[in-house]
Structure 1
Amino acid sequence: MTVADTIRNASDVDMARILTAIILKGQGYTDEAAFNVEPKVLLEVLRMEVEDLAAGC
């Protein structure tokens, strides 16, 4: 199984976790902290990131 296959087969929740972990890692969080985020926090981090992108940051 390739990385692409794994991504294609990931659930929406898993994809949200992966994207949030990438964002949090970029902000200096450890691997464990980045991947062990509560679902409500996942949505908030993604919402803030989208708002920043929309604002041109």
Structure 2
Amino acid sequence: MCDQRFSKNVHSVIKRSKLDPFRYLHKVLLYTCIYLHMVIICLTFYQRFSRHVHSAIM
């Protein structure tokens, strides 16, 4: 009961504040995750591509 009230107060304070730090943090985390995934995909693709090139040359 007390926890719910406290969390509601926190949420209302966050909503009232112009710059929502949690939303900003969430966006930052989301973009970092997407960026990391893209980097990993690019690296794996590059490794496969380089292997294919090496096998073709050999």
Give the TM-score band, short-chain normalised: 0.3 to 0.5
Answer with 1 or 2: which has the greater Rg.
2
Higher helix content, 1 or 2: 2
With the length of structure 1 as denominator, give the TM-score of the two structures.
0.33
Bigger relative contact order, structure 1 or 2 (CA pairs below 8 A, ≥6 apart): 1
